[in-house]
């Protein structure tokens, strides 16, 4: 199961929640929320991912990908360089 964390937040002095997508057995993305401990907030914020757009240097097509905070931006799309795929 692949989990993509997209947000960690707290509303109106309530509990902290983590919002994420998870890949199920049918290869479909499902959206979930989960209550988390306030001590783990910084950990999940560092693992949070954001959706980016980029243009491939080889074929010139635009592609979208999820990137964590400290990962570098890929210059080639996943069709031109399939070695970049990570789950």
Mean of all residue pLDDT scores within the chain: 82
In this structure, the answer to whether residues 22 and 55 fall within a common structural domain is no
Model pLDDT, residue 35: 93
Range of the domain at 70: 48-87
pLDDT at 82 over 60: yes
Rounded (to 5) percent helix, strand, coil in the chain: 15, 45, 40
Tally DSSP H helices, then E strands, for the chain: 1, 5
Residue 87 has pLDDT above 70, yes or no: no
Answer yes or no: do 36 and 71 share one domain: no
**In the chain, how many domains are there?**
2
Weakest mean pLDDT among 4-8, 42-46, 48-52, 66-70: 66-70
Same domain, yes or no: 17 and 38: yes
Q: Which of 16-20, 26-30, 73-77 has the highest mean pLDDT?
A: 16-20
Domain check: are 1 and 41 in the same one? yes
Rounded distance, CA 50 to CA 77, Å? 17
- How much is the pTM? 0.65
84, 62: one domain:
yes
């Amino acid at each position: 199961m692949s989990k993509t964390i997209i947000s960690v937040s707290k509303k109106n002095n309530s509990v902290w929640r983590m919002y994420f997508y998870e890949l199920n057995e049918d290869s479909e993305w499902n959206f979930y929320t989960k209550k988390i401990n306030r001590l783990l907030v910084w950990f999940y914020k560092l693992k949070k991912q954001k959706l980016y757009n980029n243009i491939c240097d080889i074929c010139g097509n635009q592609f979208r990908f999820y990137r964590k905070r400290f990962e570098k931006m890929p210059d080639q799309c996943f069709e031109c360089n399939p070695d970049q795929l990570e789950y």
